[in-house]
Structure 1
């Protein structure tokens, strides 16, 4: 308490802005970590029940692909039909009866950066449940939304300014990504490069702290696992030259993929057609999964096969075409989810095709090495986040740092080709800043 110089009435001191920001930072990291951990455990649990594989393998790297492959073809079709019902009825009911959703991008632009807690939570849970049942979309948006919604609520309770609240909402999204994929540096860089576009200290410190805390907390339930197991690989001249030659190919294909998915999302219904289209779409995917179980899920399975060298050129090409088709059709039907891991898988599959053809002329590089480089280049171009993509690739796979050279060559070529396509292809519009997360031009 203190006394005003002109009045004897005691005046209460305002709380410290630094302490308020510090408290919200720590609580956001803690909450995002718990949320990401619980969402991941829910996803693995649903996968186990739906496809009936051993609960002891719930968090192993290849458990989902092994589980769906061991399940009968009829079971796969039935589970995907159920996925269509859940997706269609769930999102239709949310749009009809829930509060309007606010994307992370919209919250960051708002003077009141809040996201409705109940609607956002339901939206996130629907994504997790449908991906667990076999939807080809990514699961990374759900923990980001939970982290951002929590950060916005905490910021309001702590009385933070609008600018501070926006930073915390972005940090909540990065922390959710860090928690669910065990990528603390990737989560922080995602905030800095993609969401806020600055590496200033006022953003850098909370971004690093929230993502680190979230990743550490999530490890309590998920373990210190990384996403993809890769065999020992070495760098050679063949791979380096290939990355220079084929980098632009990944950028051009990534541009086409972005345009396809953007238009599919824009045309998605929110009325009575959503349940109908969703059921038809996932029933079709279920029929395809009877013959290609690798199609199910967010793309982690086929990407893992690509890194292990377990795919032929023909099978990789088939899976690539089918995965792109079912990703677009799922978005068109009204399903929601991310495109980070699907894009990473697409790049790996395309790399197996291009790399396999390359080895006919210049052998020496392993299929897995092609896949790591191609996956990173495709992700960097499709989501327009080169630094984040490179960091995520190394945290996902833990490959040697010597792969930084071909990866950077491929990423640079992919970005140039993507921007060239966005500028020169007729009727195309640049999509810089579009990240495939919850709607057109939304994060």
Structure 2
């Protein structure tokens, strides 16, 4: 990082060099903690507001059912107001539309801007209105994006370099996920696996301290209990493993279907150029209100529906109806272009799939009766993996959210099968698909360069297994002309690269680039250092 280089400049004493790096690392950990505190505070406030709104909406539904003649109109009427206002507010910060996670990834790739003072208020208010109106959206997307904005706010207030700012943005994003689900380890893994794809000490240490700080606030205000409280889970015998292979295939197929359906919904929404965003959101909110009058379980994120499924209180014959309604409402809600995530809705869909297969298994094999909640927990993680393709994040997230890890073997098996099936079907991971859409729209809109040409910055990339750069010599790589490869970190060794230096998987490359061309250079290095198996499958 630039500051580290500045600190060590002018000295060749190994002890002083080590001390400078150690002091910088400690300072960065403190800054990560500060970013976590701010991100956690914003995230917990958002959770509390959503909880109050959901209670208020449920009370309105109870009152509406007491007026059979016209009570079904009450929620659609309120939805028009809340959904329309959410869509209107989003026009002041278009980057807050949808989950926000693809926007954070684009910012970390230096492809898009992040304006923290604009994102936090718009995402907070519009997200609360949209989810409160009954749109099938989750809280995690807003908390991740607002957490990233909080990380930038900390960096700006401390006047840090661009490289440090990006690290703190990633730390804040992980803290936002930790605050959303009381899952600090999942927040760390999410940063490492999805956002940065980089296990450097700065990324790991900063994400860890930020997530711990955010979770401390979460537990202080909301308590130490997991998000979903599951009791009396029955042990799963090894004879059930074939059933979990079937569950993995089902979640893989349905996960790929979700990704395709969401892509289709967004493409359809793009064609409705004459329909303003606020009107699209209002119309979807009306539909959600009508559906919610008869099926209130599918409104909002779906937290209480998950708890009902995990308590084995949802009948087998109702599950297909709930799944179809939740699936379609989630696609339409996200396509409306208002703030809201998809983590929680897809976890709801995963529990319904698992409960359905678990209950059928109980009818076919009487010894498995009562095990549907275990199937639902495993299915939550598998469906997440099939859609997001972040297996470590999915597994750790579900373990932390439920507080149970005794089903580790079927959990791992089902997630692996779901991942393989989803990859074989040729669909892109959901956030990769959304990121590509955002970048293409940005290019078509003619976005300006994000930085000045006369300034330089340092970027870090990791050589993945199976990538074109793995096993290749530096002189044989077609590196972008606008960059300078200055070091290769291999474990604890730092190598000054020469033309004959062979790059290996896991190498961390430090590259100096002009700030104005950082996005383009990162895109070129992405083609060289990341495994492109998924792209080959998709093109075939």
Give your verdict on TM over 0.5.
yes
* Local SS of the residue matching 1:160: coil
Counterpart selection for 1:312 from 315, 326, 329? 315
CA distance in structure 2 between the partners assigned to 1:221 and 1:435 by the alignment: 36
- How far residue 359 of structure 1 moved from its aligned partner, in angstroms, is 2.7
Work out the CA distance in 2 between the residues paired with 1:237 and 1:106. Answer: 43
Using the alignment, how far apart are the partners of 1:171 and 1:420 within structure 2? 33
Question: For the residues of structure 2 that align with 1:222 and 1:92, how far apart are their CA atoms?
Answer: 32
Whether the 8 Å CA contact 2:148–2:171 is kept in 1: the answer is yes
C-alpha distance in 1, partners of 2:260/2:86? 27
Equivalenced residue count is 408
Matched, 1:325 2:328: yes
Match of 2:170 in 1: 170
Q: Could you tell me how far 1:430 is from its partner in structure 2?
A: 2.9
Which digits, 9 at most, give the CA deviation of each residue in 1:384-440, with x for residues without a partner?
A: 1100111111111112x3201000110000000000001xxxxxx534753869976
Match of 2:264 in 1: 263
- The alignment partner of 2:340 has SS state of coil
In structure 2, C-alpha distance between the alignment counterparts of 1:436 and 1:285, rounded to whole Å: 24
Provide the residue aligned with 1:36 in structure 2: 43
The alpha-carbon distance between structure 1 residues 50 and 246, as it changes in their structure 2 partners (threshold 3 A), is closer
Q: Could you say which residue in structure 1 is the equivalent of 2:88?
A: 92
Q: State the alpha-carbon separation in 1 of the partners of residues 391 and 254 from structure 2.
A: 16
Does 80-89 or 140-149 show the bigger shift? 80-89
> Is the aligned partner of 1:127 residue 2:127?
yes
What's 2:243 paired with? 242
Aligned to 1:419: 423
Superposition deviation, residue 94 in structure 1: 3.2
Q: Does residue 282 of structure 1 match 2:285? A: yes
Alignment deviations for residues 140-172 of structure 1 (CA, whole Å, 9 cap, x no partner): 111111111121122233333333222211111
Aligned equivalents of 2:392, 2:248: Cα separation in 1: 16
In structure 1, the partner of 2:467 is: none
* CA-to-aligned-CA distance 1:216-238 (integer Å, 9 cap, x gap): 01222222232112121122234
**1:288, CA displacement in angstroms?**
1.7
Shift of 1:18: 4.1
Paired with 1:78 and 1:440, the residues of 2 have a C-alpha distance of: 36
What is the CA-CA distance between 1:243 and the residue it aligns to? 0.9
Structure with greater contact order relative to length (CA < 8 Å, sep ≥ 6): 1
Instruction: Tell me: CA distance 1:438–1:144, structure 2 relative to 1, closer, same or farther (3 Å).
Output: farther
Q: Considering only aligned residues, what root-mean-square deviation do their CA atoms show, in Å? A: 2.9
* Alpha-carbon distance change, 242 to 220 in structure 1, aligned in 2, over 3 angstroms: same
Give TM-score scaled by structure 1 length: 0.84
Question: Structure 2: how far apart are the matches of 1:27 and 1:270?
Answer: 42
After superposition, what is the alpha-carbon deviation per residue over 1:240-260, rounded to whole angstroms, capped at 9, x for unaligned? Answer: 221123212211110110111
Give the structure 1 partner of residue 223 of structure 2: 223
Cα distance in 2 between the residues matched to 1:162 and 1:368:
47
Q: What corresponds to 1:203 in structure 2? A: 203
- Please tell me whether the aligned partners of residues 81 and 283 of structure 1 are also in contact (alpha carbons under 8 angstroms): yes
Instruction: Check conservation: 1:384, 1:435, Cα contact below 8 A.
Output: no
Tell me the residue number matched to 1:406. Answer: 410
Shift in alpha-carbon separation, 1:31–1:337, aligned structure 2, 3 A: same
Q: Distance in 1 between matches of 2:160 and 2:285?
A: 44
Q: Contact 2:75 / 2:290 at 8 angstroms: preserved in 1?
A: no
Is 2:65 the partner of 1:72?
Answer: yes
The aligned counterpart of 2:388 is 383
User: In 2, Cα distance between the equivalents of 1:73 and 1:416?
Assistant: 49
Hey, what's the Cα distance between the residues in 2 that align with 1:236 and 1:359? 13
Question: 334, 338, 341: which one pairs with 2:344?
Answer: 341
